[in-house]
Amino acid sequence: MQKMSCFFPLLFVCLDVCVVHFIRLAQHSPLLLSCPFVTLWGGGLTRASILLFLSSTYPRAMPWMSSSEGLHSLGVLCFHFPAYTSVLWMLGRPVMEELWGWHSWERVLQGYVVTVVAWLYWTRYVSSFLVSWARYISSWFTNVSAEKPKEDDSGASLKRLLGYMQPYVGRFIFVLVLVFLSSYGEMAIPQYTGQVANWIMNEESPDAFTEAITVMTLMTLASAVLEFICDLTYNITMSRIHASVQGVVFQAVLKQEIAFFESTTTGELVSRITTDTNDMSEALSEKLSLLMWYAARFGFLLFFMVSQSWKMTLLTCMGLPIIWIIPELTGHFHQTMARKVQESLAKANQVATETFSNMKTVRSFANEDGETARYRKRLEETYSLNKREAVAYATSTWASSMTTLALKVFILYYGGTLVTGGSVTSGGLVSFVLYELQFASAVEAVMRYYPEVKKAIGASEKIFEYLDRKPQVPPDGTLEPKNLKGHIQFQNVSFSYAGKTEEKSLVLKDVSFEIKPGQTTALVGLNRSGKSTCVKLLERFYQPQSGVILLDGKPLDKYKDQYLHDKISVVSQDCLLFARSVKENIKYGCEEASDDDMYEAARRACAHDFIDKLSNGYNTDAGEKGGQVSGGQKQRIAIARALIRRPKVLILDNATSDLDVENEYQVHQHLLNQNDHCSVLLISNKMGVVEKADHIIVLDNGMVKEEGRHNELMEKHGLYADLVEKQNTGFQRKGEDMNSTE
Ligand SMILES: Nc1ncnc2c1ncn2[C@@H]1O[C@H](COP(=O)(O)OP(=O)(O)OP(=O)(O)O)[C@@H](O)[C@H]1O
């Protein structure tokens, strides 16, 4: 099978050569002698048909030959020469040699070289470039936002990025004009060096020399200044766009429902907002800018090269893929060797790490020499790989410089023949060689930066994912009554975090209770009985699967979100402070409150006295997550933060758990005895605190088990009495344990 697939190319070439010579004989027949163009095109067609027939019918032909790439190459092989000759004829150039010498060995070989070069261009650069542009253009005509985002949808992402760039369109046009002018200015050195060379050769006009030098200097200076202004404008604009994209993504993330934050890690969120946007903007600032520069240079260089000599330009373009491919092949070998060296080094390191971490065992068995020998053996392996890597590196660098050199020499040789033939001046050749030096690197840079920019644009899709995500929250309500009593009713509420309605996944099951205006209601129960879940539903973090929660007789979701969070304030056990001053923490979300309101709220939370004693009073920094103040102080600041809004419903979910008995008693006395018609929902494991509530609701496994006042519930001898008893026994036992240890 392997033999057969090698045999096919040989067969292909032999048949091709036979066909070419058969056509050549036909060309000399009296019938076709007078119309060489017909033979040229007809011969191309016959050649293509026969080769196509062979490729499609020969059983062991290479499948590649029937692919679009194969057909494309076949087309180039058979028709490039007729096309070239026809273009020459249309331009009025002599074509005798081409018409009668097309079948020579030299021409046939040249045809194969052209086909290989065309194939390299097509597969490596043109096709991917065309595909991406086709995709990009089609994204302008289709509503991509309605489609599911694709992995490599850089066209759609680019469209969206351009949307952010729209306000700065004037600046971008300015930048493009500068890029254009500055790149044009860079052409001065090769152009005028050529003119200087002409002057030196001919010494025609002494003024021409001074003029060329002056223009060259001025243009180069102007180009440098324009480049500076352009870089500055571009980078400032990109930073602006970066900041605005970051701001929009941050806002979009904040609008998501609470469940989203529970299922997405903080690291992931921060990474999207900072790292991903940074990567994208860095790639766009740096690489897009380079791509623009090199693309403009490429355009100008190509233009000036063609204007000097289109033949030499064609030769350069044909040589470029070859000078990229050869170093790439040798570079591939070098990379493989480098990877092997890394792996071998890692193995040697592993021996060292293992030995050091088990040093006691090594010493116990007196095996230091054994380990040293093992390490040395690994190093020997690395050394032998290093030698091969050095050879590969040298070969790769040598191949790279040799192919570049070969192309230059070839161009110089060919240019020299053109100069002797009189079609190019000596100065023109000098200019061309200088253009060509820049041209290869410009093409290489465009080829390198284009995929990188495309990748960066594609990566921005990740950022847009958050912008596109619709928060799973019901639409905001409209109610914001002036007078709110703070009357809450849970009516047959069932809820599951997983959004399922089966009994086993329900966290709250048909829960109904009431929090009367101005009263203190306590919610008690064993751990995981669903107390905090009730609070989360009151905060509208989640929606119940069935049942309804009423506030003053109206469903909770009919109220405006901002209004609801002003009227229902929650202080939970894990209340966090921000790394800002105590003052900013208390006024959080309520910045318009006066300092007097703040002091009052702090007094009601029993926080004023200790805040006053802090090093900077209310201006003391609370530290990261409130780390500069104690747990109890943090909780009192959080209560003040809740009270400053003058809520109608205050929820304390284990909010005083970190306070000592004395302080906790004080805080509760303050909060529960205030006559400001605020309903309080108290969740606490400390039954001594709970017993003072006006109404106590006992939850068990997501269901309301009992409710009433402390005395009523104690008389029932149910779950509540049990909880109280257990806590008392617990305290007693703890006391006894402590006594016995004393
Ligand atoms: N975000 C969440 N996602 C999934 N399940 C949750 C979530 N929060 C709580 N739960 C589950 O819901 C049930 C009730 O939890 P909840 O926190 O409401 O109980 P609790 O009575 O307040 O408990 P505790 O006294 O320990 O705070 C528990 O089984 C818990 O594991």
* The pLDDT value given to residue 149: 44
The alpha carbon of 555 and the centre of ligand 1 are apart by a number of angstroms equal to: 24
pLDDT band (50, 70, 90) for residue 554: very high
Residue nearest to atom 3 of ligand 1 (CA): 497
The alpha carbon of 638 and the centre of ligand 1 are apart by a number of angstroms equal to: 22
Helices within 358-468 (DSSP H only): 359-364, 368-421, 426-468
* The pLDDT value given to residue 457: 74
562: pLDDT strictly greater than 50: yes
- Percent of all residues in the chain with a pLDDT value above 70, rounded to a whole number: 90
- Averaged pLDDT for residues 592-609: 89
The alpha carbon of 702 and the centre of ligand 1 are apart by a number of angstroms equal to: 10
* The pLDDT value given to residue 380: 92
55-77: pLDDT as tens digits: 888 777 777 777 878 888 888 88
738: pLDDT strictly greater than 50: no
Residue nearest to atom 4 of ligand 1 (CA): 497
* The pLDDT value given to residue 194: 80
Residue nearest to atom 6 of ligand 1 (CA): 497
Higher pLDDT among residues 668 and 45, named by residue: 45
Among the listed ranges 11-20, 115-124, 509-518, which one has the minimum average pLDDT value?
Answer: 115-124
pLDDT band (50, 70, 90) for residue 487: very high
Q: Is residue 533 in contact with ligand 1, taking CB distance under 6 Å?
A: yes
Question: From residue 21, how far is each of 26, 60, 150, 630, 702 by CA, in Å?
Answer: 9, 25, 52, 97, 93
Q: Is residue 529 in contact with ligand 1, taking CB distance under 6 Å?
A: yes
Tokens of 33: 């002698």
- Ligand 1 atom nearest to 525, measured from its CA: 21
142: pLDDT strictly greater than 80: no
Pocket test for ligand 1, best of 258, 260, 532, 681 (most atoms within 8 A of CB): 532
For residue 286, the 8-state DSSP code is: I
Residue nearest to atom 5 of ligand 1 (CA): 497
- Sign of the C-alpha dihedral computed for residues 323, 133, 118 and 315 taken in this order: negative
**Across 126-130, 149-153, 505-509, which has the greatest mean pLDDT?**
505-509
Q: Are 16 and 47 in contact (CB under 8 A)?
A: yes
The alpha carbon of 705 and the centre of ligand 1 are apart by a number of angstroms equal to: 18
Q: Is residue 528 in contact with ligand 1, taking CB distance under 6 Å?
A: yes
Pocket test for ligand 1, best of 260, 263, 533, 534 (most atoms within 8 A of CB): 533
Pocket test for ligand 1, best of 263, 493, 507, 651 (most atoms within 8 A of CB): 507
**Homologous superfamily of the 488-741 domain (CATH):** P-loop containing nucleotide triphosphate hydrolases (3.40.50.300)
- Averaged pLDDT for residues 82-92: 87
The alpha carbon of 525 and the centre of ligand 1 are apart by a number of angstroms equal to: 12
**Across 194-198, 200-204, 208-212, 347-351, which has the greatest mean pLDDT?**
347-351
6: pLDDT strictly greater than 50: yes
pLDDT band (50, 70, 90) for residue 689: confident
Could you give the CA distance from residue 604 to residue 6 in angstroms, rounded to a whole number?
92
Residue nearest to atom 28 of ligand 1 (CA): 528
148: pLDDT strictly greater than 50: no
**Residues whose CB is less than 8 angstroms from the CB of residue 299 and which lie 6 or more positions away in sequence, other chains included:** 183
The alpha carbon of 540 and the centre of ligand 1 are apart by a number of angstroms equal to: 16
The alpha carbon of 722 and the centre of ligand 1 are apart by a number of angstroms equal to: 22
- Ligand 1 atom nearest to 699, measured from its CA: 21
Residue nearest to atom 23 of ligand 1 (CA): 528
* The pLDDT value given to residue 313: 87
- Ligand 1 atom nearest to 258, measured from its CA: 1
- Percent of all residues in the chain with a pLDDT value above 90, rounded to a whole number: 12
pLDDT band (50, 70, 90) for residue 354: confident
pLDDT band (50, 70, 90) for residue 548: very high
- Averaged pLDDT for residues 665-669: 75
Helical (H) or strand (E) element with 347: helix 310-357
Q: Is residue 500 in contact with ligand 1, taking CB distance under 6 Å?
A: no
- Ligand 1 atom nearest to 262, measured from its CA: 1
508: pLDDT strictly greater than 90: yes
Q: Is residue 673 in contact with ligand 1, taking CB distance under 6 Å?
A: no
Could you give the CA distance from residue 348 to residue 358 in angstroms, rounded to a whole number?
16
Mean pLDDT over the full length of the chain: 82
Strand order in the sheet with 703-708: 568-572, 649-653, 679-683, 520-525, 695-700, 703-708
Phi and psi (nearest 5°) for 560?
-65, 140
Pairing of strands 568-572, 649-653: parallel
1: pLDDT strictly greater than 60: no
The alpha carbon of 507 and the centre of ligand 1 are apart by a number of angstroms equal to: 8
Among the listed ranges 2-11, 45-54, 100-109, which one has the minimum average pLDDT value?
Answer: 2-11
* The pLDDT value given to residue 495: 93
* The pLDDT value given to residue 533: 93
- Ligand 1 atom nearest to 535, measured from its CA: 18
304-339: pLDDT as tens digits: 988 888 888 888 887 777 777 776 777 778 778 888
- Averaged pLDDT for residues 196-225: 78
475-486: pLDDT as tens digits: 888 888 888 888
Residue nearest to atom 19 of ligand 1 (CA): 528
Give the max Cα distance, the chain. 128
Q: Is residue 496 in contact with ligand 1, taking CB distance under 6 Å?
A: no
Residue nearest to atom 9 of ligand 1 (CA): 533
Q: Is residue 625 in contact with ligand 1, taking CB distance under 6 Å?
A: no
pLDDT band (50, 70, 90) for residue 205: low
Residue nearest to atom 26 of ligand 1 (CA): 527
- Averaged pLDDT for residues 103-127: 80
- Ligand 1 atom nearest to 259, measured from its CA: 1
- Averaged pLDDT for residues 265-291: 79
Q: Is residue 530 in contact with ligand 1, taking CB distance under 6 Å?
A: yes
404-457: pLDDT as tens digits: 788 888 888 888 888 888 888 888 888 888 888 888 788 878 877 877 777 777
Pocket test for ligand 1, best of 260, 523, 528 (most atoms within 8 A of CB): 528
* The pLDDT value given to residue 658: 72
696: pLDDT strictly greater than 90: yes
260-273: pLDDT as tens digits: 888 888 777 887 77
- Ligand 1 atom nearest to 573, measured from its CA: 27
The alpha carbon of 532 and the centre of ligand 1 are apart by a number of angstroms equal to: 7
Residue nearest to atom 25 of ligand 1 (CA): 527
Closest CA to 684 of 717, 712, 711, 661: 661
Could you give the CA distance from residue 456 to residue 541 in angstroms, rounded to a whole number?
36
Q: Is residue 532 in contact with ligand 1, taking CB distance under 6 Å?
A: yes
The alpha carbon of 396 and the centre of ligand 1 are apart by a number of angstroms equal to: 63
Could you give the CA distance from residue 193 to residue 208 in angstroms, rounded to a whole number?
12
742: pLDDT strictly greater than 60: no
Helix axes 426-468, 368-421, angle to 10 degrees: 130
pLDDT band (50, 70, 90) for residue 109: confident
The alpha carbon of 528 and the centre of ligand 1 are apart by a number of angstroms equal to: 5
* The pLDDT value given to residue 97: 79
Pocket test for ligand 1, best of 531, 573, 651, 681 (most atoms within 8 A of CB): 531
Pocket test for ligand 1, best of 496, 497, 704 (most atoms within 8 A of CB): 497
* The pLDDT value given to residue 625: 64
* The pLDDT value given to residue 151: 45
Residue nearest to atom 7 of ligand 1 (CA): 497
pLDDT band (50, 70, 90) for residue 150: very low
The alpha carbon of 270 and the centre of ligand 1 are apart by a number of angstroms equal to: 26
Phi/psi class of residue 715: alpha, beta or left (left: φ > 0; alpha: ψ in -120 to 50)?
alpha
pLDDT band (50, 70, 90) for residue 610: confident
Higher pLDDT among residues 510 and 36, named by residue: 510
Among the listed ranges 195-199, 371-375, 545-549, 703-707, which one has the minimum average pLDDT value?
Answer: 195-199
Within 10 A of 623 (CB to CB), how many other CB atoms are there? 14
Q: Are 702 and 511 in contact (CB under 8 A)?
A: yes
pLDDT band (50, 70, 90) for residue 741: very low
Could you give the CA distance from residue 234 to residue 292 in angstroms, rounded to a whole number?
11
186: pLDDT strictly greater than 90: no
